[in-house]
């Protein structure tokens, strides 16, 4: 238990230092806890310490934990790949923001269901800035068109962009991914598309959060550095070809 709180403190310090170095306000960067594979009991330790922004990657895990955490105060985001046959379940779990909207077919189905339920959902457009085939996300060249299309869907509210940086020990390669996301954001802002806000840039994780903050991240998503190593490889969550076990 103490380790977990200590780890959060370390991350908090890293965020504060990165903000200072980037000349940004600490309150402009939100820490989102990536809680995949983490038990509700351990999540509660973080919630009780005041870290209430959490996110899952898989609908089944979201559902299980939504029940287990039903009597706690927290805000749910969803950061995993979403299949359109899981939309109903996503909406049942009171998810406040979907970080992984990456195709118009999904957007249209979401919009349809949201209309039936008379709800509005905040979404971020996920962009594949690393060019790795295994990553989800719209290609950078297609991002603006997708944003224009999604902007027409009344029950979706675009709040910004999300990306997963390249896995590389070379900081400059990682930085290029985040710079690309930011440049797309700037382009979108310049277009003043109705119904589109670009207030959030969701980028940066355990290993690259400093670079992301330097490049303008407003939400960083941290799992491993707080909760420890996971038993599944990341490809289980990010690779389009990997099968659900």
Ligand X SMILES: *Cc1c(COP(=O)(O)O)cnc(C)c1O
Shortest Cβ 241–ligand X spacing (Å): 16
Instruction: Choose, by CB under 6 A, the member of 54, 158, 205, 217 that binds ligand X.
Output: 205
Binding residues for ligand X, how many (CB under 6 A)?
Answer: 13
DSSP letter at 231?
S
- The closest residue (CB) to ligand X is 223
Q: Binding pattern to ligand X, positions 103-142, x when CB under 6 A?
A: ----------------------------------------
Q: Which of 11, 53, 164, 174 binds ligand X (CB under 6 A)?
A: 164
Q: In angstroms, what CA-CA distances link 4 with 48, 130, 213, 227, 234?
A: 12, 31, 23, 6, 21
**In the complex with ligand X, which residue's Cβ is closer, 56 or 143?**
56
- Applying CB under 6 A, among 134, 224, 239, 242 the residue interacting with ligand X is 224
- Residue 36, interface with ligand X (CB under 6 A)? yes
Stretch that binds ligand X, among 40-48, 103-111, 182-190, 219-227 (CB under 6 A): 219-227
101 scored as a contact of ligand X (CB under 6 A): no
Residue 156's closest CA among 126, 196, 191?
196
206 forms part of the interface with ligand X (CB under 6 A)? yes
223 binds ligand X (CB under 6 A): yes
Asked whether position 221 contacts ligand X by CB under 6 A, the answer is: yes
DSSP 57-89: SSHHHHHHHHHHTTTS--EEEE-S---GGGHHH
* CB proximity list for 243: less than 8 A, separation 6 or greater: none
Please report where in the chains the tokens 């939400």 appear, as a residue.
219
Q: How far apart are CA 191 and CA 219, in angstroms?
A: 23
Q: What is the distance between the alpha carbons of residues 163 and 228, in angstroms, rounded to a whole number?
A: 22
Q: Does 219 bind ligand X (CB under 6 A)?
A: no
User: In the chain, which ranges are E strands?
Assistant: 30-34, 53-56, 75-78, 95-101, 121-126, 156-162, 196-202, 219-222
For ligand X, the binding residues (CB under 6 A) are 34, 36, 57, 79, 164, 205-206, 221-225, 237
């Amino acid at each position: 238990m103490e380790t977990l709180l200590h780890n959060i403190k370390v991350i908090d310090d890293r965020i504060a230092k990165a903000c200072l170095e980037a000349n940004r306000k600490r309150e402009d960067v939100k820490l989102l806890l990536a809680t995949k594979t983490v038990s509700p009991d351990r999540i509660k330790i973080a919630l009780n310490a005041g870290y209430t922004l959490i996110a899952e990657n898989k609908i089944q895990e979201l559902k299980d934990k939504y029940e287990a955490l039903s009597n706690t105060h927290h805000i749910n985001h969803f950061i995993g790949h979403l299949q359109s046959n899981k939309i109903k379940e996503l909406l049942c779990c009171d998810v406040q923001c979907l970080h992984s909207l990456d195709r118009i077919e999904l957007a249209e189905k979401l919009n349809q269901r949201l209309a039936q339920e008379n709800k509005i959902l905040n979404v971020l457009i996920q962009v594949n800035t690393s060019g790795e085939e295994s990553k989800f996300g719209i290609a950078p060249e297609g991002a603006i068109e997708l944003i224009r299309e999604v902007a027409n869907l009344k029950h979706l509210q675009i709040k910004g962009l999300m990306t997963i940086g390249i896995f590389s020990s070379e900081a400059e390669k990682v930085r290029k991914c985040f710079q690309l996301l930011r440049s797309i954001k700037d382009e979108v802002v310049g277009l003043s598309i109705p119904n589109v806000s670009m207030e959030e840039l969701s980028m940066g994780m355990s290993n690259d959060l400093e670079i992301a903050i330097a490049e303008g991240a407003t939400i960083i998503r941290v799992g491993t550095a707080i909760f420890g190593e996971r038993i599944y490889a990341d490809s289980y969550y990010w690779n389009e070809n990997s099968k659900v076990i």
